[in-house]
Structure 1
């Protein structure tokens, strides 16, 4: 499993904002981009989404900027990653169901479907709440009648192993908050200045 640069930069941005000497002081995207030597334009999109999700407050205007909207102890890493990572499909028989920004705090979509994880392994259903992922039914087809998944999907034991591993990965992330990863604040602040 590899997280995208998008998730990496989102986490780095939150770390930057969390270790500022005065947390309520506004920062700007240019400072964050310069501190990490990353693209300002790419970071702008990330900061915008973090604002939409309620992790960052932005103040417009000449003296505007950004700051954390929540205390670091209230920012769960697993929840954040599930909200911003676009794809958890480790293999082709995985299908992701990622909630849009509008329904990130709601477990259902406009069509009433639930974001709970389900997978079909010998028709015994197992659910892992919150993981935005499902295993594709071996009989699933696309709109143009193309079969999804590989030929052994109906009897494959490997997809369950991958699903269990991914679930463990997410569960570990959900055990930590932003506060847990900035307990060396002084060292981080020094390196980011």
Structure 2
């Protein structure tokens, strides 16, 4: 199993925004910090905005921020937004499935079960879980001139 580049970039964008919560961040800042193409990021940012993970502002002072607190953005939901459109295997797409084993194969059932476990694990994680108390990540993603603002652990303790 392998995540698409877009999914990987989506997680980087969300973590970047979470590490810089009091600032509207710009695409070029994320591209530089995350070693990504601005053109590729534009597509990812568009999807993140469409799925209400981030809010965007156009214009000279434009950029993006998380649409809600990082503890309310589930990692499983983000991955589904980017990966669910792609069938995991040919047999998962009933319209294009040409597998001659489809009526007798139990492999699809095993894959379905594994995917449920995969997403179930990710559903227990939020963006806050990935950035909270992660000083190494904060050092890499904090914008220059700003002190990283520690993500509040009070919200996590309340869960």
Query: Shorter-chain TM-score category?
Result: 0.7 to 0.9
Tell me the matched-pair count: 142
Partner secondary structure for residue 93 of structure 1? helix
1 CA distance for matches of 2:55 and 2:89? Answer: 37
Structure 1 gaps, min length 5: 96-135, 143-147
Q: How does 1:1-193 map to 2 (within 5 A)?
A: 1-20=1-20, 23-85=21-83, 87-95=85-93, 136=94, 148-193=97-142
Residues 51-97 of structure 1, C-alpha deviations (whole Å, 9 max, x = no match):
111111112222222111110000011111111225453332112xx
2 CA distance for matches of 1:88 and 1:171? Answer: 18
The equivalent of 2:149 in structure 1 is none
Residues 97-119 of structure 1, C-alpha deviations (whole Å, 9 max, x = no match):
xxxxxxxxxxxxxxxxxxxxxxx
Partner secondary structure for residue 58 of structure 1? strand
Higher strand share: 1
**TM, length-normalised to structure 1:** 0.68
Give the root-mean-square deviation of aligned CA atoms.
Answer: 1.7
The equivalent of 2:150 in structure 1 is none
Structure 2 gaps, min length 5: 143-159
Higher RCO, 1 vs 2 (CA within 8 Å, ≥6 residues apart): 2
Q: Is the 8 A contact 2:49 2:56 kept in 1?
A: yes
| Rg larger for | 1
Higher helix share: 2
**TM, length-normalised to structure 2:** 0.81
2 CA distance for matches of 1:91 and 1:69? Answer: 32
Stretches of 4+ aligned residues off by more than 6 angstroms = none
